[in-house]
Amino acid sequence: MNSTIIRHGVNFIREKKQKGIDIKIPRKSAQNDEDFSINETLKTNDAEIIEDNKKLKIKQVEITAEKSGFSYFLDGIERKKILFYYRSIPVIYGYVAGVVLKRADKKMCSVELEKSQENFYIPVKQSPDSPGHYFSAEEIENLGKNIVNIGKPPDGADYPMIPEQLIQAAHSEIQTQRNRIEESLVKDWIDRAFQDGWLFVDGRLENKNKELIADSNIVGVIKSHHAVYLGYEDQYKVYSMKKGERSGVFQPKNENVYSWYLKLHYNKRQGDNNFGLIRVEVPAEEKFLEKADLISSWILLESKPVAFPASRWDRMIYPVKYCEDYLKSKAPSHILIDSLH
């Protein structure tokens, strides 16, 4: 991918260095995308258990279908990197993209549902109250038009001031934009009214609005567990599940989904509590509740072949890995991003 805004960034750095302005370039990280890491805070949320008289039970899933009911797969990626520090303020590059691919005759193909965007994330003065060290519009005009202002105070909070707060603000904004792209792709898929299979979404459904996902043949699968919905006794039941087992269905408080845990792989000697563990979300409707076992069996069928060598192969299915590899092949390369250095 030949990125116009990367070229803007290269020219911007050269110009500022020629003027003797304080520009610092972070050392290249051994990690491809990140010069910074964000620790996800573990969240807790109450949930109502729906099945089995509201007592959580663990169930063995029987695979009765010959093949999965999923024909469409949605995934998104994000890349973010601190490109340089200008007057000690981090200038962050972010790229987000998403795609829906169709599986037909055991091959993955395009249905022309694909979106991407890239931006610089920096704090910009927008009012007399903006902190004095934020950038003026004149200072950054040569960066081009792809600028997202991360110098906005959250509701009831102070302006982000120090670099770490600005990095966190950029991280949050990049994730928000990725979610918007994925939500718009879900909407486009629903509007196209495909009738030849269900949509597998790599990620949450809850952040899609209720009207959007209502009555749609769509399933969300979550690989990362940054929220706890069950009491500790029930949570330990989930950690102890064997391959092919699922938990009872529950509904997270104030969310428009039914959810349950499913174990794709099990290794009693290696791995952590989340090894092979995914959480499934479906629209909070009776017809989906009745299909919990069927949907679980489809996902188990999708777990072969194993999505190796993906870093989270134990929780990823091969069609999602294909979507991820497809998106990465079209994203700005790390070499291109590092050309700013």
pLDDT in tens, 11-27: 888 888 888 888 888 86
What is the pLDDT, as a whole number, of residue 30?
40
Mean predicted confidence (pLDDT) in 178-189: 95
Quick check: 282 and 204 in contact, CB under 8 A?
no
Mean predicted confidence (pLDDT) in 226-237: 95
Q: Identify the residue with better confidence: 312 or 77.
A: 77
Quick check: 112 and 129 in contact, CB under 8 A?
no
d(CA 287, CA 218): 12
- What is the band of 318 on the pLDDT scale with cuts at 50, 70, 90? very high
d(CA 337, CA 209): 34
Q: Is the pLDDT of residue 208 over 80?
A: no
DSSP-assigned letter for residue 79: E
**How many CA atoms does the CB half-sphere of 269 hold within 13 Å?**
0
Query: In one letter, which amino acid is 328?
Result: K
CA angle 109, 263, 79 (to 5 degrees): 50
Mean predicted confidence (pLDDT) in 250-256: 94
Neighbour count for residue 304 (Cβ, 10 Å): 10
Mean predicted confidence (pLDDT) in 47-52: 96
Q: Is the pLDDT of residue 328 over 70?
A: yes
Which of 276, 300, 221 minimizes the C-alpha distance to 62?
300
The partner residues of 101 in beta bridges, in order of sequence, read 73, 110
| Averaged confidence pLDDT in the chain | 90
What is the pLDDT, as a whole number, of residue 6?
79
What is the pLDDT, as a whole number, of residue 310?
76
Q: Is the pLDDT of residue 124 over 60?
A: yes
Neighbour count for residue 29 (Cβ, 10 Å): 13
Sorted by sequence, the CB contacts under 8 Å of residue 240 that are 6+ apart come out as: 58
Question: What φ, ψ does residue 14 adopt, rounded to 5°?
Answer: -60, -45
d(CA 138, CA 158): 24
Total residues belonging to the chain: 341
